[in-house]
Amino acid sequence: MIQMCVSGTTRVKLAESIERGIRNDQLAPGEKLPSIRALAESLGLSPATVAGAYRQLQQRGFLVSQGRRGTVVMYGGQSGGAFDEWIWILR
């Protein structure tokens, strides 16, 4: 379950919450995240806010977008830095 932290802009707070979930192994490498629209609805946010948070985490190497297949976790929290381990999901 993705929950928001308390400081910063909404996009930054969401990105920090997802990153924390990845680093704490609550979100595993290869795990599919909710669609932008589904997460926005469940958190009461705009889709643009969720898309911005996902984009920020993609740029930092935590997530990878697989187009219509969705967005998945690319980095595992206990396995090193975001750029130390690349996990590509081929489905």
More confident residue, 5 or 86: 5
Strand partners, 67: none
Nearest one of 29, 19, 60 to 3, comparing CA atoms? 19
Give the C-alpha distances (Å, rounded to integers) separating 29 from 49, 84, 87: 23, 13, 7
Q: pLDDT tens for residues 4-35?
A: 544 468 999 999 999 999 988 888 899 999 99
Indicate whether this model's pTM tops 0.85. no
> How high is the mean pLDDT of the chain?
78
Q: Using pLDDT thresholds of 50, 70 and 90, give the confidence band for residue 1.
A: low
